[in-house]
């Protein structure tokens, strides 16, 4: 990957495309690339939807190679939801294809003169951009279908739905999966709104005629990749739990631990959990979908294969298998125990282009405000439809939980830096509370998944109910995750590399073999720390202080059943997370 495509959407005569060398960004990938570009080129005080913000897309360092699990793509910008730096990543096919086409980054910059909507085509002959008003107001599914009719079914797409066009702060960016469906999303932080503000509806990627990216040391790379795959297959989480049930395997586990946020984080256990668990979901999918119900990868080269397909009552495709976070956000968090209703909302979220975590948390806040009753699935579906239609209420909800809480006078709003908390209550899983509070991204479980050690016993044991050891745990995980996010590897590899030294070594050897230079654990730490420092520094310049690295007060004051416990990590301890 030796080039960057820049598209200035504010050119005097319309969009201007320029392909350039990597310059100061040589050697960077994924989150390392997006955060470096945003940190260096975006004024931290700019309006997220204005001309000065940039929308950066970057495949991981290993994307486009045969390295297993290396197909994650990062998008970055200043977030309209948090006001800080944002990196959101996704699976799907575009990362591998962009890597093979040689692009280390695509940067959309400037501001279009009017509301013309554009599509971008990137293939072996280069990149073109053209206006296409027929795409206006389309959902992601119709957008992708149109692109398929135009460019064939070997493409992949990066697109926004209506939410992105309306520049909502909960808008996601969709990436197509192996079946060319827009089911994988860079979900968090309103990245879809920034793509919408640049006037780009869809980026079509076609890697026909391109080859796999070769490794500098093919023998070392090949042997390491083999050992890495074997390590993933032998670990109980990556080799058994995730492939069998998908991420929703966590519903029963987290509920039993008393950390399953229920009815807008009011309690830690949901009585309807068994009805929406991964085990129940798998049974339902098997009954309805036959052999299609088996899990599969969201991109070529995934060997964990945690993704699946959800069929409606008539056996027709409805959506991908809803993830644990989605089943929770639109399920237990809203008191809803109906998998069909949750799957319908998942389809709506994917089509409108919405972050399922933010939307579920928002509906929970709306329920607390009295807009609907907890457990009322039909009302929840109606509220999400209002978002896609852009009604006045929908515009409020589509801007996330914090805005909705403010508009309707709700005090209990589970956000940090304006971003909604995911599916683990920080009172029962205190390590994830540290990550929520201090991540550069706002509340984000993937930024440092302390649940692994707190609840699953992966990478050691730290008591989830006590504050001791949580800061160090979260710090180490945040550093490691930032590095993983730079490689293009799916974060789920963390289970195996935390537990199995030989699998971690295999990962180091994959990167080392690919780049042709040895990679050590210290190098990983240095890479992760440098990314986090870039991001922290951007946020500081944007006005963030230690006061922003806190959970809402009620997590320290309101006891959560069944453990009757509050979040116990002190402010001083939180301030020690970034001690490097």
Binding residues for ligand SF4, rule: CB under 6 A, are 69, 91, 297-299, 302, 304-307, 490, 492
Q: Measuring CA to CA, which residue among 6, 77, 61, 2 is closest to residue 28?
A: 61
From first CA to last CA, the distance across the chain in angstroms is 31
Strands (E), 328-437: 415-416, 419-420
Minimum Å gap between C-beta 229 and ligand SF4 is: 12
Q: Helix 356-368 crosses helix 377-389 at what angle (to 10 degrees)? A: 120
The Cα–Cα gap between 567 and 259 comes to 12
Minimum Å gap between C-beta 134 and ligand SF4 is: 31
- Between 306 and 565, CB nearer to ligand SF4: 306
For 277-294, b/e burial (b = at least 16 CB within 10 A) is bbebbbebbeebbeeebe
- Between 6 and 296, CB nearer to ligand SF4: 296
Minimum Å gap between C-beta 92 and ligand SF4 is: 8
Question: In this structure, are residues 355 and 187 in contact, taking their beta carbons and an 8 Å threshold?
Answer: yes
Two structure tokens written together for 260: 């399953």
- Between 91 and 459, CB nearer to ligand SF4: 91
Minimum Å gap between C-beta 323 and ligand SF4 is: 8
Report, in angstroms and rounded to the nearest whole number, the Rg of the chain calculated over CA atoms.
22
Residues with Cβ within 8 Å of 226's Cβ and at least 6 positions away in sequence, in order, are: none
- Between 140 and 248, CB nearer to ligand SF4: 248
Minimum Å gap between C-beta 299 and ligand SF4 is: 6
The Cα–Cα gap between 54 and 45 comes to 13
- Between 402 and 490, CB nearer to ligand SF4: 490
Residues with Cβ within 8 Å of 192's Cβ and at least 6 positions away in sequence, in order, are: 160, 161, 163, 164, 168, 171, 172, 173, 186, 353, 354
- Between 88 and 298, CB nearer to ligand SF4: 298
Minimum Å gap between C-beta 425 and ligand SF4 is: 23
Question: In this structure, are residues 549 and 579 in contact, taking their beta carbons and an 8 Å threshold?
Answer: no
Minimum Å gap between C-beta 492 and ligand SF4 is: 4
Minimum Å gap between C-beta 358 and ligand SF4 is: 19
- Between 67 and 302, CB nearer to ligand SF4: 302
- H or E stretch covering 454: helix 451-454
Minimum Å gap between C-beta 175 and ligand SF4 is: 11
- Between 299 and 347, CB nearer to ligand SF4: 299
Minimum Å gap between C-beta 296 and ligand SF4 is: 7
- Between 91 and 189, CB nearer to ligand SF4: 91
Question: Burial level of 101, CB count in 10 A (0-12/13-18/19+)?
Answer: buried
- Between 323 and 368, CB nearer to ligand SF4: 323
Residue 420: CA count within 13 A, CB half-sphere: 36
- Between 140 and 307, CB nearer to ligand SF4: 307
Question: In this structure, are residues 61 and 216 in contact, taking their beta carbons and an 8 Å threshold?
Answer: no
Cis upstream peptide for 562 (omega within 30°):
yes
Minimum Å gap between C-beta 328 and ligand SF4 is: 16
SS3 93: coil
Question: In this structure, are residues 129 and 135 in contact, taking their beta carbons and an 8 Å threshold?
Answer: no
SS3 187: coil
Bridge-based pairing of strands 3-8 and 103-109 is parallel
């Amino acid at each position: 990957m030796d080039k960057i495509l820049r598209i200035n959407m504010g050119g005097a005569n319309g969009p201007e495309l320029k392909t350039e060398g990597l310059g100061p960004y040589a050697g960077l990938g994924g989150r390392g690339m997006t955060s470096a570009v945003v940190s260096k080129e975006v004024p931290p005080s700019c309006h997220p939807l204005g001309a000065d913000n940039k929308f950066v897309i970057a495949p991981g360092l290993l994307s486009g190679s045969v390295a297993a699990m290396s197909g994650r793509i990062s998008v970055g910008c200043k977030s309209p939801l948090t006001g800080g730096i944002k990196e959101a990543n996704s699976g799907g096919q575009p990362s591998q294809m962009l890597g093979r086409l040689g692009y280390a980054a695509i940067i959309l910059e400037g501001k279009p003169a009017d509301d013309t909507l554009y599509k971008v085509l990137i293939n072996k002959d280069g990149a073109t951009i053209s206006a296409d008003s027929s795409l206006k107001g389309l959902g992601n599914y119709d957008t992708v279908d149109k692109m398929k009719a135009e460019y064939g079914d070997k493409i992949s797409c990066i697109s926004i739905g209506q939410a992105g066009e309306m520049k909502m702060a909960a808008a996601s960016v969709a990436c197509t999966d192996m079946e060319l469906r827009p089911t994988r999303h860079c979900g968090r932080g309103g990245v879809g709104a920034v793509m919408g503000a640049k006037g780009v509806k869809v980026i079509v990627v076609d890697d026909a005629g391109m080859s796999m990216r070769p490794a500098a040391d093919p023998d070392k790379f090949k042997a390491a990749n083999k050992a890495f795959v074997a390590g993933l297959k032998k670990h109980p989480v990556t080799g058994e739990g995730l492939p069998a049930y998908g991420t929703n395997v966590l519903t029963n586990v987290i509920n039993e631990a008393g950390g399953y946020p229920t009815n807008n984080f009011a309690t830690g256990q949901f009585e309807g959990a068994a009805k929406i668990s991964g085990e129940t979901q798998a049974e339902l999918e098997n009954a309805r979908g036959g052999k299609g119900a088996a899990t599969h990868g969201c991109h070529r080269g995934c060997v964990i294969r945690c993704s699946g397909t959800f069929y409606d009552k008539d056996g027709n495709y409805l959506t991908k298998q809803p993830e644990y976070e989605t089943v929770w956000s639109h399920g237990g968090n809203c008191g809803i125990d109906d998998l069909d209703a949750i799957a319908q909302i998942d389809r709506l979220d994917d089509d409108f282009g919405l972050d399922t975590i933010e939307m579920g948390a928002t509906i929970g806040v709306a329920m607390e405000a009295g807009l609907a009753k907890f457990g009322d699935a039909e009302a929840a579906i109606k509220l999400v439809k209002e978002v896609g239609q852009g009604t006045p209420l929908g515009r409020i909800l589509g801007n996330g939980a914090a805005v909705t809480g403010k508009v309707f006078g709700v005090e209990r709003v589970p956000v940090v830096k304006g971003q909604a908390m995911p599916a683990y209550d920080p009172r029962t899983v205190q390590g994830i509370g540290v990550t929520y509070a201090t991540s550069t991204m706002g509340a984000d479980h993937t930024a440092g998944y302390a649940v692994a050690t707190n609840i699953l016993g992966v990478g050691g044991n730290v008591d989830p109910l006590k504050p001791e050891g949580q800061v160090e745990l979260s710090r180490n995980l945040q550093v490691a995750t930032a590095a993983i996010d730079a490689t293009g590897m799916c974060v789920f590899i963390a289970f195996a590399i935390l537990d199995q030294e030989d699998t971690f070594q295999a990962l180091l050897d994959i990167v080392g073999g690919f780049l042709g230079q040895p990679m050590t654990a210290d190098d990983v730490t240095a890479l992760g720390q440098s990314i986090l420092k870039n991001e922290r520094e951007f946020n500081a310049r944007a006005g963030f202080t230690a006061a922003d690295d806190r959970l809402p007060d009620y997590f320290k004051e309101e006891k959560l059943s069944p453990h009757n416990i509050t979040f116990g990590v002190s402010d001083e301890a939180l301030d020690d997370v970034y001690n490097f």
